[in-house]
Amino acid sequence: MKSRDVAERLRAYAEGRPLPSGATITVPIAEPEDRIVLSFVRMGGESLPWGIGYQLGEDPPVLLSAPDGRQRDPVGDMCAELSKVLCGFLGSPLLTGEAVDPDNPPPLPLRQIWVPNRSHIEMIHLLNLRYSRTQYGDPARSLILRALGRASGFLFRESEREGQATVIDASAVLRDHFVFPADDMRQQHLGFLLAMMNTDGSFDERMQAAEAAEEFSVSHTLTPELERDELSPLVEAFNKAEGDGGAEVQAAASAAVGEIIDAENRRRIDLVNESIALLMKDARQENKGAAELAEDSIRERDCYYRWQETTGALDGDVLPHLTTSALTDGVPASASKRYYRMLAASDKASVCLLHDDPELQKVAVAEGDAIKGTLAAVSRAPSLKSDSDTEVEVWRVEASASLPSRIREGAKLCLAGSPDHDCIVTEVAVDGETRVLSIEPDKKLAGSLQVEADVLLLPASVAFFGIKKGKEAKNSDGPGAWLTHAQPGRPRRRGLNGPDVLERVEELRGS
């Protein structure tokens, strides 16, 4: 934490309530019909859901549960129900039976999955791990579960991509947009955050409400007392009745378990809806960069989920051609490609929101990634950029040297509000308390600024390079690919591409 963050937290404490952080809303919020709120609860020690709750748009929530979270079939049935909804929601025709041309699918807007907190995203990963290659049980059901596995895999991987707008962690969004007068651990609890936000009254009253909210879990785990005191006896009764042939007792126990589990998911869903409502009525405008990030999310979904599912669906495939590993990328080229894609996304996310949010700009300046100063002089000089001897406009920008700076010679910056026009830093010097930068602006910006104008220069995006590298990563037709692209675990043929040297010699001998 920086002293700036401490000051903000103290201010929030002084005001007795959470305070807005940032001048814009940086996450796009999809229309209700394009949102699913999703929640899980699981039994202690297990890695699959005991209950699933989802709400599509403004429809009533659907609450599913299994009487015993350890039983494969009831849990599988529950997950299959989710699969049918989720896969279609994300644009897969596999379970809807739609005929879709993979290269020309009907346009689908941004579709979002909202979850209470990070633990639910972990559960999505667990579904990916468990189901993406399952062949257990009825083939028709295992096909549906594999579809869930793949959808979950896409969602989990996408959740890791910075700037993505498909999988939204409600707690994280609130923390990103508000400063809370509490320690970081408490701020992980969505109920705590919302109670602090929505309770009218003094700080003490808000804190009281927040403490009461904290009594209830919002992660996918249940409290040990609930499991021990209420659920365990019911599960035991259910299992005993199954053995004793007591169908009525079983049904009652199952219903009682369902009531508790459903209530838990219902509460979590309600909290997420509360978060969305809070953000929707926030006076701050949506950051213009968020729309760009939303477009990227749509592209990612269409390219890395929908196309694959649509292609697979053409064959009515039992095991689609491409099931990305839930754990890692075993092929070096795939690992590299994904790595570059993630780097490019991270870079883009960090710069595209800056232009529309003066508070984010302040943070960037304080961190040394951006510079705020004055245009001290404009001159003309031969370009110092590659392969150009023509004279160009050169800006001399002066800023305070008391702030740290990461900006070096050769760095690419852009004027706030002009993200598409790169300016290159040709020289950096510190003269007493002043930092002096010489800058060659994009030729389209020549003449756009007057001397003594305030100047705010933000980092330019280098995402393009990441994308280009990602495309290059798969190429393995070069002379060094024997080393760089060889599959681990298989002996790499030392030497050049071509026939084995012994074979060559034998050929020579023969001739």
Partner 1 sequence: MKSDVELRIDEVRRALLEAVLSNEPLTIVKAPPGSGKTRLTLDAAALLLDEKARVAIVAQTNSQADDICRRFVEDFGANVVRFHSGTGLRPSGLPDGVQLVSKSAWLPTGPIVAVGTSAKWGLTGIPAARFDWLLVDEAWQLSYADFMLMQKVAPRFVMVGDPGQILPVVSIDASRWEVADTPPHRPAPQILIEQHEQTQPRVLELPATWRLPPDSALVVNEFYDFKFESAVGPGERSFSIGQREGKSEYDPVIEMLESGSMVGVTLPTPEGGPPLEEDREVAVAAAELVRRILSSDVTLRIDGEDRALEAADIGMVATHRVMNTRMREALPPPVASEIMVDTTERWQGLQRPIMIAIHPVSGVTDPGVFDLETQRLCVMASRHQIGLIIVTRDHLPRTLHELTPSATQHPGRPDASGDGREKHEQFWGDLERAGRVVAL
Partner 2 sequence: MATRKDTRLRFEQWVKNPTCEANVISAVAGVRMDKVAISEGIKPTFGQSPFAITRGNSFERALLDKQADSLIEALCRKDALPSGASGLADYRIRMNGGSLKSLEVALVKTRELLEAAAATGAEGLYGELPAVVASATMEIPGQPVMLPDGLLVIDALLLRPAEDGKLVELVIGEIKTYPYRGGYTDSAQLATARGQAGVYRHALKLFISELGLSDRLVISPFGVIVLSLSGQNQPVILPNEDLRFQDKRAERGFVRLRDAAAGVTPFDPADEEKGIEKVLAADTEYKPACISFCDRAAGCRLAAFKAGDAVVLGEDVKRLLGDVTIDRAVELLGGAAPSGPRETELAARLTEGAAA
Binding residues for partner 2, rule: CB under 8 A, are 1-11, 13-14, 43-48, 69-70, 122, 125-126, 129-130, 181-186, 211, 221-225, 227-228, 232, 235, 326-328, 362, 365-366, 403
For partner 2, give the closer residue by CB, 3 or 104: 3
Q: Is 203 in the site for partner 1 (CB under 8 A)?
A: no
Residue 111, amino acid: R
Based on CB atoms, which residue is closest to partner 2, 231 or 445?
Answer: 231
Rounded to whole angstroms, the Cα distance separating 191 from 213 reads 5
Pair of tokens at residue 75: 């849990």
Return the number of the residue (172 or 366) whose C-beta is nearest partner 2: 366
CB of 326 to partner 1, least distance (A): 10
- Residue among 216 and 482 whose Cβ is closer to partner 1: 482
Phi-psi region of 429 (alpha: psi -120 to 50; beta: other; left: phi over 0): beta
Candidates 51-59, 91-99, 134-142, 462-470: pick the segment binding partner 1 (CB under 8 A): 462-470
Torsion sign across C-alpha atoms 403, 407, 408, 413: negative
Choose the contact partner of 338 out of partner 1, partner 2, none; CB within 5 to 8 A by kind: partner 1
Find the shortest distance in angstroms from Cβ 147 to partner 2.
17
Which range in 23-31, 139-147, 234-242, 386-394 contacts partner 1 by CB under 8 A?
A: 386-394
Answer for which of 46, 358, 465, 505 binds partner 1 (CB under 8 A) is: 465
Query: Is the Cβ of residue 490 or residue 494 nearer to partner 2 in the bound state?
Result: 490
User: Which of partner 1, partner 2, none does 222 bind, CB closer than 5 to 8 A by kind?
Assistant: partner 2
Q: How far is the CB of 7 from partner 1 (least distance, A)?
A: 12
For residue 430, state whether it binds partner 1 (rule: CB under 8 A): yes
Q: Which is nearer to partner 2, 41 or 351 (CB)?
A: 41
Q: Which two tokens stand for residue 484?
A: 């760089």
How many residues of this chain interact with partner 1, rule: CB under 8 A?
69
**In this structure, what token pair is assigned to residue 381?**
């000089």
Tokens linked to 170: 């409600």
Instruction: With CA atoms as reference, report the closest residue to 134 among 124, 123, 142.
Output: 142
The whole-angstrom separation of Cα 12 and Cα 127 is 39
Q: Report which DSSP code applies to 47.
A: S
Give me the least distance between CB of 321 and partner 1, in Å please.
21
Q: How far is the CB of 474 from partner 2 (least distance, A)?
A: 22
Stretch that binds partner 1, among 61-69, 91-99, 231-239, 327-335 (CB under 8 A): 327-335
Closer residue to partner 1, CB minimum distance, 284 or 412: 412
DSSP string, 248-294: HHHHHHHHHHHHHHHHHHHHHHHHHHHHHHHHHT-SSPBPHHHHHHH
Site string for partner 1, 473-492 (x = CB under 8 A): x-xxxxxxxxxxxx-xxxxx
Q: Are strands 112-115 and 167-169 parallel, antiparallel or unpaired?
A: parallel
Based on the shown chain and the rule CB under 8 A, indicate whether residue 406 belongs to the binding site for partner 1: yes
Please give the residues from 331 up to 350 whose contact with partner 1 meets the rule CB under 8 A: 332-333, 335-336, 338-340, 342-343, 346-347
Sheet bearing 49-56, strands edge to edge: 62-65, 49-56, 35-42, 112-115, 167-169
Separation of alpha carbons 54 and 85, rounded Å: 9
> Which of helix, strand or coil describes residue 421?
coil
In three-state secondary structure terms, 403 is coil
Q: How far apart are CA 172 and CA 363, in angstroms?
A: 19
Partner interacting with residue 406 (select from partner 1, partner 2, none; CB below 5-8 Å by kind): partner 1
Number of Cβ within 10 Å of residue 15's Cβ equals: 12
CB 18 within 8 A of CB 283: no
Q: Is 281 in the site for partner 1 (CB under 8 A)?
A: no
Q: Which tokens in the block code for residue 386?
A: 């590659």
Q: Which two tokens stand for residue 117?
A: 């907190």
Q: Which is nearer to partner 1, 13 or 339 (CB)?
A: 339
499 binds partner 1 (CB under 8 A): no
Note whether 460 and 413 are within 8 A (CB).
yes
| Site residues for partner 1 per CB under 8 A | 1-3, 6, 157, 160, 162, 327-330, 332-333, 335-336, 338-340, 342-343, 346-347, 368, 383-388, 401-406, 409-410, 412, 424, 426, 430-432, 465, 468-469, 472-473, 475-486, 488-492, 494-497
